[in-house]
Amino acid sequence: MAVEKKLMSKKKPAFPVNDMLNAYLKNYKRTTKISIYYEDLLRFQGSVAVFDKNDEDTLWVRTYYSDSDRKEIDISLKRVYTLLHSDGNEDTIPFLKVDAIDYCTFGNSKPFRIKIRNILNDNFTYFYVKKADASRIYGLELEHILSPHSMNFLVHGETLIEEHIVGIPGDDFIRDILPTCTELEKSQIAKEFVKFKERCLVRLLGDMRSYNYVITPTHDFDHIIYKIRAIDFDQQSFEGNLKVYNLQFMKENFKMVEMVSKKLQNDSIKQYKIEERSFMAKRMITTPRRTLRLIKCMKNDTISYPQNIELLKKHLIEYVGDVKFKECENMGEILETILAFVKRNYLDISNKDLF
């Protein structure tokens, strides 16, 4: 399989949240008046590197603040936690402790990862504080609407709060766990990878390299079921190269792609692709107003460059053979055309192949 040396742009900019998207977020209770902003966390006085259990650098650093700043930041982060995970009731705040505030030095978003612990039972969880980016927000909402997974996040001004998505990082799983899986488990993982690949391709979620998704094992009677979830939505409908939205062209996924070719026949692959598109169509049908409002926001927004839009239209026309893409003027219209095809195809019960 030939792979282009350069699939993606060097750096994707953060796009501002416009008035229409902000109104959408308010309507669906995605906004809040939080007491801390991303810029507040940038006031750390110093940091130390965070290493994993194998003493390898994680590219995260643990930050520390002045005593006065830390007191204010701690109470604000606890309030954010109650808003994200509950109804904002502050009665539980005395039982919460901010164990760590880590800053990521890798990638576009440069997020802060907050570890919150309940001092009564030592249970802990994470959430992330990031700069709000319209394309990332569209990605989160599309995941919530079109995937089997609900997404929990809040936006206030230029700050985005995201719930932590639990799972084993894909690169760790492929390296450490996949070789020990049984043949039956590998077949089930191959099936999930095909479905995940189809979902990302159809809804134009790019850059799903192995470290941008997690694999979650669930015990079911006498076996384990594996599910795959995206955890990074930075590359929603931005790139012009169609291959960026296709997991099989990421070298980090080659072992998964190889496993799919070994474990699944072409008829099975087609069946699983049809199943995933049908599921997405059902989600759109059951949430028609929300889907239409979100796509309308995307159509009236700028989340990519003109040259990327033109290139993606060209690739889609060549790959799909549908000249309707030629009429699209932005990423929102391109995605609308793809989703309309998926929905129409499901209702016609003809199951024609899209990609």
Tell me which residue has tokens 């899209």. 354
The neighbouring-strand residues paired with 64 are 46
Contacts 24+ apart (CB under 8 A), 168-173: 168/214, 168/215, 168/216, 168/217, 169/210, 169/211, 169/214, 170/209, 170/210, 170/211, 170/212, 170/213, 170/214, 170/215, 170/228, 170/252, 170/253, 171/209, 171/210, 171/211, 171/252, 173/210, 173/214, 173/215
Provide the sign of the torsion angle of the four alpha carbons 97, 230, 87, 80, taken in this order.
Answer: positive
- 40 HSE (CA, 13 A, CB side): 19
Rounded to whole angstroms, the Cα distance separating 307 from 124 reads 45
pLDDT in tens, 69-95: 999 999 999 999 999 988 878 888 999
Q: How confident is the model at residue 4 (pLDDT cuts 50, 70, 90)?
A: very low
Whether the pLDDT of residue 5 is over 70: the answer is: no
- 43 HSE (CA, 13 A, CB side): 14
Rounded to whole angstroms, the Cα distance separating 6 from 302 reads 24
Token pair in block for residue 341? 């095809």
Tell me which residue has tokens 């209770």. 29
Domain extents for the chain?
Answer: 19-163, 168-348
Instruction: Check residue 345 and give its pLDDT.
Output: 82
Is residue 100 within 8 Å of 115, Cβ to Cβ? yes
What's the mean per-residue pLDDT of the chain? 92
* SS3 state of residue 148: coil
pTM: 0.93
pLDDT in tens, 103-130: 998 777 899 999 999 999 999 999 999 9
**E strand intervals along 187-288:** 213-220, 223-230
Nearest to 204 by CA among 111, 82, 303: 303
Rounded to whole angstroms, the Cα distance separating 175 from 277 reads 30
